[in-house]
A and B are shown apart, each in its own frame.
Chain A
Amino acid sequence: MTTASSADHPTRRDFLYVATGAAAAVGVAATVWPLIDQMNPDAATIAAGAPIEVDLTPIAEGQDIKVFWRGKPIYISHRTKKQIDEARSVPLSSLPDPQTDEARVKSGHDQWLVVIGICTHLGCIPIAHEGNYDGFFCPCHGSQYDTSGRIRQGPAPANLAVPPYQFVSDTKIQIG
């Protein structure tokens, strides 16, 4: 809009419009944030995601259990000597996502493999003790993981993730 009055005081008029427009933009942005942030996990959900402790004594060698932490299945495998050797004898160069087995377990507790049981392809839950590598097999699109939870074959791009955890004692871990 070009008008007579704007020709008289172009800067003052423009300043007022710019200031009002800017204030409106700030107001809208500040209003939008709560509307988006409400979708984030609420305080109760966050509190429920606190660390959990898992007792390892009932898990015999060669067995595994599935526990839930933050809504995710966590596989805890008590690996046999053979499984550990299998995992450690593979040349790293042959892995799609190279990582040593040692880097995926806690030293001194090499028999315990703790991984998040969520296929890194599209989120299905792989089945333990299945597939060609004695590790995990994902039935959705055929990804195969080895005894260290590393991807060996199939569409998944990465190894099964290791959750944050530590040994509280020799027979107890805290996940989270």
Chain B
Amino acid sequence: MSGPSDFQPTNPALRWIERRLPIFGLVHSSFVAYPTPRNLNYWWTFGAILSMMLAVQILTGVILAMHYTPHADLAFRSVELIVRDVNYGWLLRNMHACGASMFFFAVYIHMFRGLYYGSYKEPREVLWILGVIIYLLMMATGFMGYVLPWGQMSFWGATVITNLFSAVPYFGESIVTLLWGGYAVGNPTLNRFFSLHYLLPFVIAGVVVLHVWALHVAGQNNPAGVEAKTEKDTVAFTPYATIKDLFGVSCFLIFYSWFIFYMPNYLGDAENYVPANPGVTPAHIVPEWYYLPFYAILRSIPNKLAGVIAMFSAIIILCFLPWLDSAKTRSSKYRPLAKQFFWMFVVVCVLLGYLGAQPPEGIYVIAGRILTVCYFAYFLIVLPLLSRIETPRPVPNSIADDVLAKTGSKAAPMVSTVIAIMVAGGLLVGGAQSAKAEGGEVAPPAQKWSFSGPFGTFDRGAVQRGLQVYKEVCATCHSLSFVAFRNLADPGGPGYSTAQAAAFASEYKIKDGPNDQGEMFERPGRPADYFPSPFPNEQAARAANGGAAPPDLSLITKARSYKRGFPWFIIDFFTQYQEQGPDYVSAILQGFEEKPPAGVTIPEGSYYNTYFPGHAIKMPKPLSDGQVAYTDGSPTTVAQYAHDVTTFLMWTAEPHMEARKRLGLQVFVFLILFSILMYFTKKKVWANAH
């Protein structure tokens, strides 16, 4: 289809180049004159969306690498510094982290679209297999990228996934050691993952070129599943497909921005805001949502090697799809049975994803096994069988006939499917969240926070009072090491002036040095200094606190969460509720009971807390009424203290939250207007085609 082009630039300079390197002709034949079936629906725009996502990920990734430090001791902090100090660092990080999810979201739609319309069938087998290779590379890249922030989930995800290879007979241990570059996951592992995470996207880009090449040789499939025969069946890629793709992209950007600006942590795991700790495994290791179906398959098989094989086969089997399904009719539109099984398969995948996030016990294991069987049965039994027994409905003679046959009324199924997918996606993600914090705890009551919702801002008074509570109470045990005194004067913070921040800093003694004599010395704090830690090191903190080191509080409101449960996690997506952390912190501060309820015993040196997982907390009741003297007349009650200090800690966890929401509003207004413009432009352009 894209043979040698007879395209000739008119400009003599371009013609000079063209004679020597026919690049304009290549671009023209591939992206301008290239004929595309005229009946493509919006599911086909996901190819363009994926190209855009790859570009976004590479661009933001290269930028983040300018600021990131791939070292086990510094990685976590460097990510926080990107978010806090780099200009627009929070935006770039959100774009990259949410971008990974959007990339997978789009690739799953793209794959299911290919599955439904038979895009893997002759002559597009190589095109399809290249796609599976891209998908595998994406999984590897996504996994290694998730390791880089070096939080708890990063570390333990890396441990669990690399240990998959230990299932290999005889060489397993050696392979794993080779992957780690040490006796356990550690700094060498992080370093090589960083290197590979930087490399693989470019490999993906290379395979994408092959993918597009193969596409342009075979031509695009289309909803009717019949090949384009005459000129009447196709339209030129530019402007028709280009404008349609761009409209699809702009709509997708709205969806993407919802996460970037309003729900940046919805798709992540609170546990990853806890720095990696090789000594403590989180209660539930849950991979990113896009791996969950395969994780469920892995866990369904009670044998280690068999589980790993099953998991990899679940992906590799896609490569054989063109031969497993030998039906002549491509599009499931004309295959009544295949269509039904397709939707069942989608449901199986979503349910597997849900199970992947649940604890591997009881009913979940049984359900997981049944669904694993269903998953493989679809490829190994249903599709081969259907290709033999199913009588397809007649397909249209040509694409032009297909277009004529249906006038209008094709938006409705698209809309309902989009809604179904959103709900399914919510189920997956919510399932991932709900796997944490369980075991009979009382859910912290949801509170009203000034910073919640799309227009939320920090209550300045509360942040200032919270700082006072932190300074007078919490700071005796808890560090706040990501916050500098200068931050107190930052816009969107407590609202102090630079001079006030400097005065606040000067009240602290900061260890500095060595001086010219090689000695450490103390000096008054400066705005650039960070809040000093109450203990010189973790061991000292542990020793002074009955064996439990008080956690750093800078990120605590993002590092804690609790189970929201069905259907809340779906509703939360739309209401932007994401204050689990603040609710939890505030509840813990107020949840102390003098005496444990009857029948509950609390170990020596622990205290009963209603909301703490397991109820036995090592921290004694920190706040009591009247303990901190407020100067602004606010009530000096535990409830007020808890509210204020939580507000303060939300600010320390996310100092640019106000800027994020403000920019989000602007972006939303722009994108919606732009999409409307694109819609009419697209209509106008396509008016010529009909």
Given A16-B680, A19-B677, does the pair A5, B688 have CB atoms closer than 8 Å? yes
Binding-face segment, B85-93, B416-424, B643-651: B85-93
Nearest neighbor of B485 in chain A, beta-carbon distance: A47
Q: A38 to B688, Cβ gap below 8 A? A: no
Q: A38 to B86, Cβ gap below 8 A? A: yes
Q: Pick the contact of A38: B87, B670, B674 (CB < 8 A).
A: B87
Contacting residues, chain B, for A13 (C-beta < 8 A) = 684
Q: B81 to A42, Cβ gap below 8 A? A: yes
Q: A47 to B528, Cβ gap below 8 A? A: yes
Q: A16 to B91, Cβ gap below 8 A? A: no
Q: Pick the contact of A34: B87, B674, B678 (CB < 8 A).
A: B87
Q: B684 to A35, Cβ gap below 8 A? A: no
Task: Tell me, rounded to whole Å, the shortest Cβ–Cβ distance linking B90 to chain A.
Answer: 10
Interface size class of A (residues with CB under 8 A): 20 to 34
| A103 located at the interface, meaning its Cβ lies under 8 Å from any Cβ of chain B in the complex | no
Within 8 A of B (CB), among A1-27: 1, 3-5, 13, 16-17, 19-20, 23-24, 26-27
Q: A5 to B85, Cβ gap below 8 A? A: no
Interface 1/0 per residue, A33-71 and B, CB below 8 Å? 011011110111101101000000000000000000000
In the assembled complex, the Cα of A151 lies from the Cα of B687 at a distance in Å of 72
Task: Tell me, rounded to whole Å, the shortest Cβ–Cβ distance linking B382 to chain A.
Answer: 45
Given A1-B688, A27-B670, A50-B527, does the pair A34, B85 have CB atoms closer than 8 Å? no
Given A27-B670, A47-B528, A50-B526, does the pair A38, B677 have CB atoms closer than 8 Å? no
In the assembled complex, the Cα of A47 lies from the Cα of B488 at a distance in Å of 13
Contacting residues, chain B, for A4 (C-beta < 8 A) = 688
In the assembled complex, the Cα of A24 lies from the Cα of B674 at a distance in Å of 7
Q: Pick the contact of B527: A1, A17, A35, A47 (CB < 8 A).
A: A47
| B67 located at the interface, meaning its Cβ lies under 8 Å from any Cβ of chain A in the complex | yes
Task: Tell me, rounded to whole Å, the shortest Cβ–Cβ distance linking A47 to chain B.
Answer: 4
Q: A44 to B88, Cβ gap below 8 A? A: no
Given A1-B239, A38-B63, does the pair A43, B677 have CB atoms closer than 8 Å? no
Contacting residues, chain A, for B344 (C-beta < 8 A) = none
Interface 1/0 per residue, B141-164 and A, CB below 8 Å? 000000000000000000000000
| B59 located at the interface, meaning its Cβ lies under 8 Å from any Cβ of chain A in the complex | yes
Given A3-B688, A16-B677, does the pair A42, B67 have CB atoms closer than 8 Å? yes
Contacting residues, chain B, for A42 (C-beta < 8 A) = 67, 81, 85-87, 89
Within 8 A of A (CB), among B63-90: 63, 66-67, 81, 84-89
Q: B528 to A50, Cβ gap below 8 A? A: yes
| B129 located at the interface, meaning its Cβ lies under 8 Å from any Cβ of chain A in the complex | no
Q: B484 to A44, Cβ gap below 8 A? A: yes
| B478 located at the interface, meaning its Cβ lies under 8 Å from any Cβ of chain A in the complex | no
Most B CB within 10 A of own CB, among A17, A38, A40: A38
In the assembled complex, the Cα of A47 lies from the Cα of B527 at a distance in Å of 7
Contacting residues, chain A, for B89 (C-beta < 8 A) = 38, 42
Contacting residues, chain A, for B66 (C-beta < 8 A) = 38-39
Interface 1/0 per residue, A119-162 and B, CB below 8 Å? 00000000000000000000000000000000000000000000
In the assembled complex, the Cα of A3 lies from the Cα of B239 at a distance in Å of 13
Q: Pick the contact of A20: B81, B92, B484, B678 (CB < 8 A).
A: B678
Contacting residues, chain A, for B687 (C-beta < 8 A) = 5
Contacting residues, chain A, for B87 (C-beta < 8 A) = 34, 37-38, 40, 42
Nearest neighbor of A9 in chain B, beta-carbon distance: B684
Contacting residues, chain B, for A50 (C-beta < 8 A) = 526-528
Most B CB within 10 A of own CB, among A17, A30, A42: A42
Q: A23 to B673, Cβ gap below 8 A? A: yes
| B486 located at the interface, meaning its Cβ lies under 8 Å from any Cβ of chain A in the complex | yes
Q: A20 to B67, Cβ gap below 8 A? A: no
Q: A43 to B526, Cβ gap below 8 A? A: no
Nearest neighbor of A24 in chain B, beta-carbon distance: B674
Contacting residues, chain B, for A30 (C-beta < 8 A) = 670
Contacting residues, chain B, for A1 (C-beta < 8 A) = 239, 688
Task: Tell me, rounded to whole Å, the shortest Cβ–Cβ distance linking A137 to chain B.
Answer: 26
A-B CB contact pairs (8 Å), 23 listed: A4-B688, A5-B684, A5-B687, A16-B680, A16-B684, A17-B681, A19-B677, A20-B674, A20-B681, A26-B670, A27-B670, A27-B674, A34-B91, A35-B59, A38-B63, A38-B87, A38-B88, A43-B85, A43-B486, A44-B528, A45-B85, A48-B528, A50-B526
Instruction: List 10 other contacts, CB 8 Å, given A20-B678, A35-B92, A38-B67.
Output: A5-B684, A16-B677, A23-B674, A27-B670, A37-B87, A38-B86, A44-B85, A44-B484, A44-B528, A47-B486
**Chain B residues proximal to chain A, CB less than 8 Å:** 59, 63, 66-67, 81, 84-89, 91-92, 239, 484, 486, 490, 526-528, 670-671, 673-674, 677-678, 680-681, 684, 687-688
